[in-house]
Structure 1
Amino acid sequence: MPLQFADRLNNVETSAIRELFKLLGKPGIISFAGGFPDPAMFDVEGIKQACAQALAEEPGGALQYGATEGYQPLREQLSAFMATKGAKDVAPDNLIVTTGSQQALDLLGKCLISPGDKVIVEGPTFLATIQCFRLYGAELISAPVDGNGVKTDELEKLIAEHKPKFVYLIPTFGNPSGAMLSLERRKKVLEMAVKYNTLMVEDDPYGDLYFGEAPPPSLLALSGSVPGSRDLLVHCGSLSKVLSPGLRVGWMIAQPALLANAVMCKQFSDAHTSTFAQATAAQYLKAGRMPATLANVRKVYAERARAMGDALTRELGDAVEFTQPAGGLFFWARLTGKGGKVSDAGEFAKRAIEQGVAFVPGAPFFAANPDVATFRLSFATADVEKIKEGVARLGKAI
């Protein structure tokens, strides 16, 4: 007798990116597909010392069950970490620790979305967000994005028309767009939150990965300048892209009522994020190694991003258009079809695999009206020479 699965599963399908990984076993293939940090950037020695320190100072706390809200020493360190980024009034009790920022999104779905609720996301946006929110029955509305992030004039029209449960944004070096929301638009987002009494969710896993000048302050850091906006803002952070995704340490900052319900839902799912991982992260932050780690990561990724931008211009010419990213892990590009070149990124991806290089077509990143000419490239895990070779292969595939 076949199993009768929950109706909610009819709203989602497996990740197009995860499915693509099945094709990457071909020897010699160069992958620009994943959204992973380079493992060579992990501060293994620092993490090793943090582990040892966690076991030496408080072995019971590191190895025992813990509070669902999070390991208190880590909450204190994250509060201090947020202060270095301009959010100076985030007390430890204002945040909960999550199992990666991915869990924060799941908790938002559980706490806020009823079937049929409307949620506005960027077009394009993080694929797992689309899947997560649809799993809980959301009707997703897509807000257009350009090189300066979400188009706030268009966003305001959508908020006024649809009256969404909340708006989900990745303002700084978004995945997949790589776009950075301008300071002017950030202020408009906060003003819209107050004007329409609409919750804004800021996902910020990439904000520390800038290549030159620091990006504008986060929505959270700016919220003090827009009266009333702080209670209408959720901020999700993560150590995955800057320290280690294997630790699975993220956090969520929100108003007390939302945090209380998120803690209740988290109790049902995993009781708490790994206390050992939390204790290790707390010791790492306490040791003061993060600034040097970030400086190294920024330098390496900036070099790779420059190499990819130069190679795309050299090898693909006017067959592709893109905005050079100022941080993060991704290029977002669009095929122009000029000169009779391929204009469908799905077809381009198949040709690229035949040439020994992989990337992700852009269509799955859209909640509605997908642009089939778009695609995402990650420069994080390939060194400069592999980037040059991989983009040269793309030139042969186009």
Structure 2
Amino acid sequence: MRLYWSPVELASRLARRGVRYNFASGAPDPGLLPINEIRRSFERIYEKYGAAVIAYPGAGGLRELRIELSRYINKALNIRVDWRNIIITAGAQHAIKILSQLLMRRRTIVYVENPTFVETIAPMKFQGARLIGIPMDDEGMNTHKLENLVRNYGPGIVYTVPNCHNPTGVSLSSDRKRHLLEIAEKHGLKIIEDDPYTSLYPNTGQTLKSMNNDVIYVGTLSKILGPGLRIGFVITSGKLRNDLEKIEQHDFAASTLTQYLVYDLLRRGVAYDVIQKAHELYPRKLRELIESLDEYLPSALMYRPSCGFYAFINTKANAWNLLRRGIKQGILFVPGNKFFINENRPNTARLSIGSIGINLIRDGIKVLSVIMNN
């Protein structure tokens, strides 16, 4: 399998040079990151646990963190879970990587939304999986077309971001969530639910996991406590849970230090405080982005985002060419072609509200409109 750079990574490298309007970053708003609380937790865990915080981590994750995380998952995500069925990973991307190693082989059929998040499908491709793209609209994945494709290609795995989709920002409707679960039961499909954004917005709708316990759930605390902490998790049971613990022996997964740190932050309620602030800020930022696009680029939105960090647009011209011009004007975004499965769509781009200041969004879209219209 050929290795390649993702457009997200390439855009991140460009961002390090410094840009005024960063619509590329998937990182959370820096104003919400609990820097002072993290510093206090560092001091607390070193004082309380000593050398244990820099010992080797155990496969599966720190027991104390898994127990505290089960409480968080129940409260913030409305998923009831036994702590023993939580596997700690080094972020959600690590979770997807090891799930791909365990569940996918050459020609394994994997059904994904089209477009989908480019960096999560990379390890699936590396395993040799055959990705089948499912068209989307403003209600998420078209589950009727999914069922037709399943009849053609047979059973496999569905990888989905049903709430606050990356890169489109849409959410799978309640009817389609139920239909997806019915299709999975009828045709023997495994479902991997990737869910980084549900807790950041109020009223995002149910997770698939809360509707059916057979769903393999991938979550993260990166968008709440900070992406550099690299704490994600998988909720599953039985043989797959045991196999995930075994495969973590290969890399020791998340560091012991950050696991103790996140345990202390969760125990002291810091994550809930951040979530409350996120519920205020991110909907405002997304509204600002949508209203700015409607004003300056009224035909650009390909999907109407409802939550999350992203909007996906038609750039009319080649997005990489526009990006080269945009960088000179201090604007950065992620070209969208690689988000598609077996489609060449060079005239698309992903815009993010994650880390850009709310006061810069409108001016940034105005600059983008000038670049696109010229």
Q: What is the TM-score normalised by the length of structure 1?
A: 0.88
Q: 1:113 matched to which residue of 2?
A: 104
Q: 1:350 matched to which residue of 2?
A: 324
Which of 236, 239, 248 is residue 254 of structure 1 equivalent to?
236
CA contact (8 A) 2:89 2:95 kept: yes
Which of 266, 279, 295 is residue 276 of structure 2 equivalent to?
295
Partner SS state of residue 9, structure 2: helix
Deviation of 1:85 after TM superposition, in Å, equals 3.9
Deviation of 1:304 after TM superposition, in Å, equals 1.7
Write out aligned runs for 1:112-191 (5 A).
Answer: 112-191=103-182
Matched residues in 1 for 2:234 and 2:49: separation? 25
C-alpha distance 164-363 of structure 1, shift in aligned 2 (>3 A): farther
| Pairing 1:241–2:216 present | no
Matched residues in 2 for 1:373 and 1:164: separation? 33
Matched residues in 1 for 2:347 and 2:293: separation? 16
Matched residues in 1 for 2:337 and 2:166: separation? 13
Partner SS state of residue 296, structure 1: helix
Deviation of 1:21 after TM superposition, in Å, equals 3.7
| Number of matched pairs | 372
Partner SS state of residue 165, structure 2: coil
CA contact (8 A) 1:122 1:150 kept: yes
Deviation of 1:86 after TM superposition, in Å, equals 5.3
| Deviation readout 1:100-121 (Å, 9 max, x if unpaired) | 0111101111101111212111
* Stretch of structure 1 that moved more, 385-394 or 157-166: 157-166
Which of 221, 240, 249 is residue 210 of structure 2 equivalent to?
221
C-alpha distance 24-73 of structure 1, shift in aligned 2 (>3 A): closer
Partner SS state of residue 120, structure 1: strand
Q: 1:5 matched to which residue of 2?
A: none
C-alpha distance 163-312 of structure 1, shift in aligned 2 (>3 A): same
Q: 1:312 matched to which residue of 2?
A: 293
Matched residues in 1 for 2:175 and 2:11: separation? 38
| Pairing 1:281–2:262 present | yes
Write out aligned runs for 1:78-97 (5 A).
Answer: 78-85=69-76, 87-97=78-88
Matched residues in 2 for 1:79 and 1:40: separation? 27
| Deviation readout 1:330-360 (Å, 9 max, x if unpaired) | 112224xxxxxx3443443334334331211
Which of 281, 286, 306 is residue 326 of structure 1 equivalent to?
306
Gapped regions of structure 2 (runs ≥ 5): none
* Stretch of structure 1 that moved more, 292-301 or 137-146: 292-301
| Deviation readout 1:182-204 (Å, 9 max, x if unpaired) | 11111111111111111000000
Amino acid at match of 1:333: I
CA contact (8 A) 1:87 1:220 kept: no
CA contact (8 A) 1:112 1:165 kept: no
Deviation of 1:88 after TM superposition, in Å, equals 4.6
Deviation of 1:325 after TM superposition, in Å, equals 2.7
Amino acid at match of 2:209: L
Amino acid at match of 1:276: L
CA contact (8 A) 2:137 2:303 kept: no
Q: What is the TM-score normalised by the length of structure 2?
A: 0.94
Matched residues in 1 for 2:270 and 2:157: separation? 36
Amino acid at match of 1:308: L
Gapped regions of structure 1 (runs ≥ 5): 1-7, 224-229, 336-341
What fraction of aligned residue pairs are identical, expressed as a percent? 29
CA contact (8 A) 1:120 1:164 kept: no
Matched residues in 1 for 2:219 and 2:164: separation? 14
Q: 1:264 matched to which residue of 2?
A: 246
Q: 1:395 matched to which residue of 2?
A: 369
Q: 1:338 matched to which residue of 2?
A: none
Q: 1:371 matched to which residue of 2?
A: 345
Deviation of 1:24 after TM superposition, in Å, equals 4.1
CA contact (8 A) 1:130 1:367 kept: no
C-alpha distance 358-75 of structure 1, shift in aligned 2 (>3 A): same
| Deviation readout 1:352-396 (Å, 9 max, x if unpaired) | 334331211211101221433321101121213321221111111
Measured on the aligned residues, the alpha-carbon RMSD in Å equals 1.9
CA contact (8 A) 2:77 2:198 kept: no
Matched residues in 1 for 2:101 and 2:18: separation? 42
| Deviation readout 1:114-147 (Å, 9 max, x if unpaired) | 1121211111111112211111111111111111
